[in-house]
Amino acid sequence: MINLTINGKAIQAPEGSTILEAARANGIDIPTLCYDKAVEIYGACGLCVVEAEGIPKLLRSCSAKCTEGMVVNTESDRVVQSRKIAMELLMSAHDGDCVAPCQLNCPARTDCQGYVGLIANGEYDAALKLIKNKIPLPASIGRVCPHPCEKACRRKNVEEPINIAQLKAFAANIDLDKDDSYLPECQESSGKKVAIIGGGPAGLTAAYYLTIMGHEVTVYDMMEKMGGMLRYGIPQYRLPKEVLDKEIAIIEKAGVKLVNNVKLGKDFTIESLKAENDAVIVAVGAWKSSSMRTPGEDLEGVYGGIDFLRAVIKGNPPEIGERVAICGGGNTAMDACRTAVRLGAKEVYVIYRRTRNEMPADKLEIDEAEEEGVIYKFLTNPISFNGEDGKLKSVTLQIMELGEPDASGRRKPVPVEGKTEEIALDSVILAIGQKLVQGDVSELKLNERGNIEADPDFFTTSIDGVFAIGDATNRGASIAIEAIGEADRCAKAVDAYLNGQKLDTRVPYISKRDESTIDYSDRKEQSRINPKVLPADVRNKNFDEVSLGFTEEEAQAEASRCLECGCREYYKCKLLNVAQRYDIDPSRFKGEIPQKYTHDENAFIERNTSKCILCGLCVRSCREVMDIHAIGLMGRGFKTDVSPAFSLPLDQTKCNNCGLCVQLCPTGSLTEKANLKKQVPLDEQYTEEFVDINGTQASVLVSRYNGKVLRVIPNDEVSRNANLSREELQAKLQ
Amino acid sequence: MRIVIGQGSCGIAAGAEKVRSALLKQNISAPISITGCIGMCYLEPIVDIYDDDKLVRLVKVSESDAPAIADYIRTGDREKISALIVTDEDSEFLSKQTRIALRNCGIINPEKIEEYIAKDGYTALRSCLTEKTPEEVIDVIKTSGLAGRGGAGFPTWFKWNAARQSEGEEKYLICNADEGDPGAFMDRAVIESDPHNLIEGMLIGAYAIGAKHAVVYVRAEYPLAIKRLKNALEQAREKGIIGNNIFGTDFSCDFMIKAGAGAFVCGEETALIESLEGHRGMPRLKPPFPAQSGFWRKPSNINNVETFANVAWIINNGGEAFAAMGTEGSKGTKVFAVTGKVKRSGLVEIPMGKTLRDVIFDIGGGMKTDKPFKAVQMGGPSGGCIPADLIDTVIDYKALGATGAIMGSGGMVVMDESTCMVGMAKFFLDFTAKESCGKCIHCRIGTKRMLEMLERITKGEGKEGDIELLEELCYSIKDGALCGLGQTAPNPVLTTIKYFRDEYEAHIKDKKCPAGECSDLIEYTINADKCRGCTLCARNCPVNAITGAVKQPHVIDTDKCIKCGKCYSVCRFDAVIKA
Amino acid sequence: MEKRTVDLSLLDGVLAEYASVKGSLITILQHTQDIYGYLPKEAIELISEKTGIATSEIMGVGTFYTQFRFEPVGKYLIMLCQGTACHVNSSELILQTIKDELHIEDGQTTEDGLFSLKCVACLGCCSLSPVMMINEDTYGSLTPDKTKKILKELREAAV
C-alpha cells in the first residue's frame, strides 16, 4: 500500500492506483468528463487535474499514479482556475439548450416543455405532477397567467407559440374533476412552525411547499376567503371562483392551516407572529389603486381598478351608469372594461396613451373586449375629470402621437399641441397600477419605491427570520406567476433557514443556444389552437367563464406542436453538473461554434454533434469494448467531429444498438429514445434488472417514470452483444 | 578542376538544376557533381569550382552564365565571371561559423557514401561497436553535454540511459525529422546534404540503447530529403553498415523510413508514435514515457535530426571537445535558420554562448532594408519574440528561456518596424489553432478563442480588458493543455504582450496599427504636394478608388478603397501615405 | 459532376506489399493518393476490406492529416507556403493575387480543372520567401506580378 495525503486527509492506496482512483475510493470527488473505467485512459478533458506538492505541473489524476508520501490538493485555487477556464471554453463551443426557453422565461421556471410533451403523449397525471412541482394553483394560473413562457416559445418563429397556459389549465382541470386530486407525500414533520401573512398566490404557494417539506404552516389573511388577487382582482368570467376554491381546498388538505378575517397591525404584528413561529413570510400584496394625479380624481364616480373589481366580486357593484371609461392598457384595465360591459354599461371606453401595439394586456383579451363592445380611445390621455356638484360628468382628453422610442424601446407618446377631446361620462375606473398599503408593514424596512426591501435571492428582510415575497416587495406589483416563483424559491430558502443554513436560490448556470443560429426551415406550419369561447353576444351579458377550455383532442394536437427545445439529457447531464460546480461565464469566450446542429437517428439512438464535447467516450467504447467501429473522430482541431465514415447515417453502419455510447456520453450529444411519442426530458430513475438471453442472465438498466417503462438499456457484455431490439429486450423483462 | 553545384531544396528552387543542365550542355571537361545545402541560401544558386583545393565560389548564378563559366574552366580567365564570385563580405557568412552538425553540408555529394566515408564517415560507429560498451557510449554523450536540439533541450544521455535501462528485448530508436516549425529548415538541410551523418548518429544511438530497429519519421513535404535518405540507406545496406552483424559484430539494426502526412503535432513524441502506428497523431498521456512504453508499446527513444548529426563528431573527437564549446548549461554548437528581414539568410551554426547580435548582425549582416530591427522570433509557434533591446542575449537554453522565448529547433525570423507584433501573435495562433489535434479542451478551443480575440483586436474591434483576458487564457492553457503544442502555444502571445504591450493598446484603444500592417486600421491618402499626377496609382487601383487629372494631384476615395496597398507600392514619389 | 470510375486494380501492388504490415495505414493512403491524386471512397472501402481496419478509422486518419484529399485536384496543385518567413515577407499578398487571378479560395479547384489552391505549412525554403510549390516545382521570391506571370504561363502551357 502507498501512503499519501489528499486534501489534508491521510489515505492509503494500493500500489499502481491512480490519484483519481485513490480519491474516489475515499469519497473525494474529482470531476472528469472523459474518463471511464470501461475504456483506456485518454486524458482529453483535463478537468481531473490536481496539484501535488513539489511537482510544478498540474497532474491529470486519471493517469498520474500515487506515489509514497505524495501530498495532493484536488481543489487548490490553481486547480479550480484550470477547471473553470476549461469549462468556460467547453461551454463556449457547446451549442445546446439545457432547458427550453419557455421554462427559462417562466418566472417560476415551470417545466413547460415537460408537461406540454406529457399532454401530447396523453400522460395527463404525469403532466399535472410536473406542473405542481412549481405551481400549486395550476387551474387558476392556467386561466389567468399572461404567460411569459409563450413569449419565449420558439414555435413563434414557425407560426405562433404553443398555447402553453391553456394546456396547463387543461391538465389541471382533469385533476380537479377527480375525487382524489393529486396530493404529494409530505416529508416527516420537522417540528418547525412557519406563519405566512397573506393568502394570495405567493402566500399559498410558500405554504404548500413548506408543508410538503414537513413544516407546520399557518396562513393569515385579512379577507373572508383565501386567494388574494386571484379571488378579489380577477373577474369570475376569467377565473370561476369554484375553480380557485377547489385548488385552495387541496392546499388545505395538504395540511396548511388557513386563518381568515385577521389583519396585520390590528389582530397581530410581525413580531408577535415571530415570537410564536420559527419563521415568518410576509406576502401581503399590493391592495391600493395607484392615482393618476389628474384633477378631479376625488369626484364621485371615479373608482380605482382593483377596488372596482373587488366590489363586483364581493357582490356589491358600485353605480357606474351607462357611460364608463377605463384608464390604462394592462390586464386589469381589460378586466375592468369587460366587467363594466357585463354590468350593463352602454358605452365603455378604454383610454390609453399609446396604440394597440403597445398595450401590455394580452392580445386575446384586447380582441375579446372589443368583440364585447368596448371602444378603444388610443393615443389619448386624461387631463381632467370634470364634474358638477362633486359628481363626475365628463373627461377631457389630450390627443397624443407617438414620438421617439424611450428607454423601454417603446415609442413615447407626446401631446399634440392644442388638440383635446371631451367625452361625457357617468364613471371612470383608474386601472393604472396598484401599491402596497405601507402602514401594514411598518415594522419592516421599505425601499425608495415604498415597497418592502427583500433580498432578491434569499428573500430576507430587515428582521431576522422574517422573509418577504410578492407584490409587496422590491419592484412592487407584478403578475401572479412571478409571486409564485418567488414563493417557491422562498420556501426552499426558509427550509434551509429552519435547518440553520443559508440557501442562494439563484438559478445556476445553464447552456443556451444562440437564437440567431437556429434554422426552422424544415418545420411544417401548423396553426395554434385556442380553446373555443362563448359567443360575444352571449358572454357580454353574464359572468360565465368565457373560455370553454381544451377538449382532449385539441389539447393533444396543440401540445404536439412543441418543438422540444430543451435537452432530453438535462437530468443526467454530467457536463452541466460540472459546469454548475464552478462559477463560470462562457460569454467571455464567445466565438465560433464548431459544429452545426445536426440530427441523425436510427431506431434507438439519436446523435447531435453540436453538443459533442469530444471526450471520445463513444468512439473509444465502440472500438475498445465493442470492436464495432461504427463511429470515429473525423477532422482535427477545433473542427473535430464524431461521425460514421463518409458522414453516413448511423443506420448504414455496423452499429448494433448496444447503447454503450449513449450510456457513456456525458452530455446530450447521444441520446437513446424512450417509449414515448414526444421525447420529454424527464427525471427518470434507473434500476439494474436481469433478463434471460438464450439461457444466460444478462444485466439491463431499466428506466421508469410514473410507473411506466421508458427504456431498457443493455448493461453487460451479453445484453450488448445480443443484437436484440429494445422491444425484444423489454419483452424479456418480468 | 571540378564543378560542384549546390542542390539542396533551396538551390533547386532558385534554379540550380537549370544551371546544371546548362553547364552540361557546354561540354566542359571538368566533372560536374552536386552537393547539398551550403547554407548561404540568399546567394543560391551557387556553383563551386575547385582547382585542386582552391575554391572559386560563384553565387546567384543563372543559366545564361553557363558560357562564361565554361570559358573560365577552359581558359582560367576570371574576368567574365568576376561579377559572380562571392564577395569577401559574403564569405564571412561561412567563415564566422563553427560547423559540427553541418560539417559536410555543401561539401560532399550526399548521394555518394564514398564521399562521406572519405570524411572519416562511419569511423565513429566502428569504434563504438568494436571498442566501447553501450554504457561507455552513453558516458561519452554525457560528458559532451549534448542536449535535444528539437526544442526542449533535454539531456540526450539521460533519454538514452532511460531507454537502455528499460526492460524488454525489443526497443526502437526513432529520429524525429518532422521538422514542422515554420521558419526552421536545418533538419531538412542535414538529410539532404549529409544523410549518412544522420544514419551514423542513429546507429550509435541504437547501439547505446540496445535497439534493433531504427525509424526515421520525416515530413512528406521534404521529398528530396526522403529520396536522398532512401538512397543513403541502400548504399549503407550494401556496405553492411545496416542490417545484421554490422562491422562483423553481433550488433544488428534495421532501418525504416516513414513519411509524415502533414500534422505539426506529430513533432510531439507521443503523437509521432501514434502516427508511426498508422493512427491519428493525437498525443498520449505521459506517463508512461516512450522510454518505458513507446512505439508498439515497446521502450523507444526519440531524438531529432540535429541531435543525431552531432553524435558521430562527438564520438570521434571526444565528449570533452564538444563540452569545451558553449556555456555552463548549454554545450556545443547550435544551428539556426536565419530568415525574414535579414540581409544574409540561411543556415548558421555557431557555438552556444554567442549572442543574438552575433548571429543577426555579425553573420547575418543586419537588416535587409533601411527599417530598424524590431524583434527576432525564436522557437516558432512554441517560442516568442525577443525585442531589439535584448539583442545581446546569450544563446543558451536558460538565457533564451528567461526572455519568454525558447531556443527551439533554431528558427530565427528577423523582423523590422514594418511587422505588426499583434499580427505576429495572430499568425502563430492561426498556425497552432489549425495544427491543434483537437484532443484536449484547452488547446482545441483555447487556441481558437485566442485567435478570435487577436483577430478582433487587429480589426479594431478589441475592447478594454482584452489583454488581461488573453493573459488569463494564456496561463490557463499553459497549465491545462495535454501536450507541448498546447502548453507552449500561448508563448507568442505572452512575449508580444510582455514586450509590445503598447502596440496591443494602440490597436485596442486608438484603433491604430503602429506598424501599418493591419489593413482594417490603416488608411491610404495622397499627399497633394508630392503627387505629380502621373496617374500610375489610378491605373493600378483595382477598384477605381483613385481619381485626378493628369499632372494634377490625385485623390483616394476612402469609402471605395479596399486597402490593398497597390498605390502605395507603385508610387514613385512617396506621395501615398499609409497611416 | 460526371461519374468517375476508379480502377481499383491499381491498388493491388500497394495492398500486396502493405496490407498485412501493421502500422502501414498512412503509407497505404499515401500510395493510394499518389495513384489517384486523391483518396476515392471505393479505394478506402477496399483498403478497409484488405487490412481489416474499419472505414471509420481510415477516414479518421485521412481527415486528420492535411496531406490527404477526398476530391480530385486540378492539373496544377498550388501549394502556397504559410511559414513565418513568408508571412513576414507578405505572403498574404501572394495569396490574394492567386485568389483574384483564379477566383478560388483555399482548398478549391478552378472550374476548368486546371488549378487547385492549398495553403500549406512551411515548405522550408524560407530564404526564398514568399514561396509556393506547383506540383513538384518550387517558385521563390514571389511578387504579385511574378505570380500572375507564372499562372499565365502554366495556363498557356496547358492549352
Residue type, C86: C
> Do residue A89 and residue B442 have CB atoms under 8 angstroms apart?
yes
Q: Say whether pLDDT at A592 is over 60.
A: yes
Q: Judge if C135 and C81 occupy the same domain.
A: yes
What are the start-end ranges of the H helices in A584-714? Answer: 617-620, 660-664
Which of A498, A515, A535 is the C-terminal boundary of a domain? A498
Chain B within 8 Å of C123 (Cβ-Cβ)?
yes
Nearest-Cα distance to chain B for A613, in Å, is 8
Sequence-separated (6 or more) residues with CB below 8 Å from residue B432: B381, B443, B447, B485, B486, B489
C residues 49-88 lying closer than 8 A (beta carbon) to A: 54-60, 63-64
CA-to-CA separations, B290 to A10, A41, A64, B286, B304, in angstroms, rounded: 32, 16, 16, 8, 14
For residues A384 and A401, what is the distance between their CA atoms, to the nearest angstrom?
19
Write down which residue in A430, A452, A476 finishes a domain.
A430
Rounded to the nearest angstrom, the minimum Cα separation between C42 and chain A is 11
Cβ distance A287 to A306 under 8 Å? Answer: yes
In a domain, A571, yes or no: no
Q: Is residue C2 part of a domain?
A: no
User: Does residue C16 have a pLDDT over 70?
Assistant: yes
C146 to chain A, minimum CA–CA distance in Å? 35
Q: Is residue A69 part of a domain?
A: yes
List the domain range (segments joined by +) for residue C117: 76-158
Please tell me whether residues C80 and C56 are part of one structural domain: no
Angle between helices B305-317 and B195-209 (to 10 degrees): 80
Residues A493 and A539 in one domain: no
Residues A357 and A282 in one domain: no
Question: Is pLDDT at A467 greater than 70 in this prediction?
Answer: yes
* Domain end residue (candidates: A559, A583, A609): A559
Q: Is residue C35 part of a domain?
A: yes
In the structure grid, which three cell numbers stand for residue A539, read together?
358572454
Q: Which CATH number does the domain housing residue A253 bear? A: 3.50.50.60
Q: What is the C-alpha to C-alpha distance for residues C127 and B557, in angstroms, rounded to an integer?
A: 38
Residue A373, domain member (yes or no)? yes
**A218-227, A288-297, B524-533: which is most confident:** A218-227
- Whether A253 and A282 share a structural domain: yes
pLDDT at C54 over 80: yes
- Amino acid of residue A541: K
Percent of chain B with pLDDT strictly greater than 90: 85
Write down the pTM of the prediction. Answer: 0.91
Q: Specify the CATH number for the domain of residue A538.
A: 1.10.1060.10
Over residues A435-459, the mean pLDDT reads 92
User: Residues, chain A, total?
Assistant: 734
Of C54, C56, C63, the CB nearest to A635: C63
Is A537 within a domain?
Answer: yes
CA atoms B21, B26, B28, B30: torsion sign: negative
A276 and A205 in one domain? yes
Q: What is the domain-level CATH number for residue C99?
A: 3.40.30.10
Mutate to test the interface with C, among A623, A624, A634, A638 (most CBs of C within 10 A): A634
Q: Where are the beta strands (DSSP E) in B500-545?
A: 524-526
pLDDT band at C1 (very low <50, low <70, confident <90, very high): very low
CA distances from C154 to B565, C72, C97, C144, C149 (A): 27, 19, 15, 16, 9
The pLDDT confidence band at residue C128, using thresholds 50, 70 and 90, is: confident
User: What is the distance in angstroms between the Cα of A227 and the nearest Cα belonging to chain B?
Assistant: 51
Q: Is residue A624 part of a domain?
A: no
C42 domain residue, yes or no: yes
| Cβ contact B497:B467 at 8 Å | yes
Q: What is the CATH number of the domain that holds C27?
A: 1.10.10
Predicted confidence at residue A524, as pLDDT, reads: 92
**Domain total of chain A:** 5
Q: C23 and B296: CB-CB below 8 Å? A: yes
CA distance B536 to B574: 12
- Place A603 in a pLDDT band, splitting at 50, 70 and 90: confident
- Tell me, yes or no, whether C81 and C45 share the same domain: no
Q: Do C53 and C121 reside in the same domain of the chain?
A: no
Residue C1 lies in a domain: no
Whole-angstrom Cα Rg for chain C: 18
Task: Judge whether B182 is closer than 8 Å to chain C, CB to CB.
Answer: yes
Interface contact C44, partner A, CB < 8 A: yes
CA-closest candidate to residue A192, choices A443, A488, A496:
A496
Chains that contact A by 3+ CB pairs under 8 Å?
Answer: B, C
Q: Which of A662, A44, A661 is nearest to B445 (CA)?
A: A44
List subunits contacting chain B, requiring 3 or more Cβ pairs under 8 Å: A, C
Q: Which residue of A has its CA nearest to C68?
A: A635
For chain A, what percent of residues have pLDDT higher than 70?
Answer: 100
**A661 contacts on C by Cβ (under 8 Å):** none
Domains of chain B: 2-87 (3.40.30.10), 113-323 (3.40.50.11540), 333-416 (3.10.20.600), 421-510 (1.20.1440.230), 523-578 (3.30.70.20)
Do A407 and A380 fall within a single domain?
A: yes
Does C71 fall in a domain? no
d(CA A377, CA A380): 6
- Residue C8 in grid coordinates: 481499383
**Do both C28 and C57 map to the same domain?**
yes
DSSP helix/strand/coil, B389: helix
A169 Cβ contact partners less than 8 Å away, ≥ 6 residues apart: A138, A139, A142, A143, A549, A550
Q: CA-nearest residue of chain A to B263?
A: A636
Task: Tell me the per-residue pLDDT of A22-53, one tens digit each, with 9 for 90 and over.
Answer: 999 999 999 999 999 999 999 999 999 999 99
Mutation target to probe the B interface, by most B beta carbons within 10 A, among A613, A631, A638 is A638
Mark whether C92 and C148 lie in a shared domain.
yes
Say yes or no: C81 and C152 in one domain. Answer: yes
pLDDT exceeds cutoff 90 at A517: no
User: Which residues on chain A are in Cβ contact (under 8 Å) with C63?
Assistant: 634-636
Average pLDDT, chain B: 94
Question: Quick check: is A90 in a domain?
Answer: no
Q: What are phi and psi of A627, to 5 degrees?
A: 55, 40
Give tens-digit pLDDT for B228-279: 999 999 999 999 999 999 999 999 999 999 999 999 999 999 999 999 999 9
Residue A607 lies inside a defined structural domain of this protein? no
**Shared domain check, C101 and C126:** yes
- Are A211 and A279 part of one and the same domain? yes
CA-based nearest distance C62→chain A, Å: 8
Clarify whether residues A121 and A202 are in a common domain: no
Residue C70 falls within a domain, yes or no?
Answer: no
Residue C98 placed within a domain? yes
Least confident piece of the model among A132-136, A562-566, A720-724, B352-356: A720-724
Least confident of A467-471, A691-695, B108-112: A691-695
Please state the rounded mean pLDDT for residues A131-152.
96
Residues B206-218, mean pLDDT to the nearest whole number: 97
Residue A63 structural domain: 2-75
Same domain, A682 and A731: yes
Strand-pairing partners, residue B511, are: none
Task: Let me know whether C80 and C139 are in one domain.
Answer: yes
Contact A446, A473 (CB under 8 A): no
Same-domain pairing of A445 and A420: no
Give φ, ψ of A469 to 5 degrees: -145, 170
Residue C80 domain flag: yes
Nearest CA in chain B to A44: B440
User: For chain A, what is the mean pLDDT?
Assistant: 94
B546-547/B555-556 β-pairing: antiparallel
ipTM: 0.92
Per the CB < 8 Å rule, is B263 touching C66? yes
- CA separation, residue A189 to residues A99, A215, A473, B156, B557 (Å): 33, 6, 30, 72, 81
Does residue A419 form part of some domain?
yes
A215 and A277 housed in the same domain? yes
Same structural domain for residues A680 and A694? yes
pLDDT number for residue C3: 54
Cα–Cα distance measured from residue B85 to residue B77, given in angstroms and rounded to the nearest whole number: 13
Residue in chain B lying closest to A642 (CA): B438
pLDDT in tens, A303-347: 999 999 999 999 999 999 999 999 999 999 999 999 999 999 999
Q: In chain C, helix, strand, coil percent, each to 5?
A: 50, 10, 40
- The 10s digit of each residue's pLDDT in B163-176 is 999 999 999 999 99
Same domain, A202 and A283: yes
User: Final residue of a domain: which of C38, C64, C90?
Assistant: C64
What is the predicted pLDDT for the residue at C4? 65
Instruction: Give me the number of domains chain C comprises.
Output: 2
CA distance B451 to chain C (A): 16
Residues of B (456-485) whose Cβ lies below 8 Å from A: 469, 472-473, 476-477, 479-482
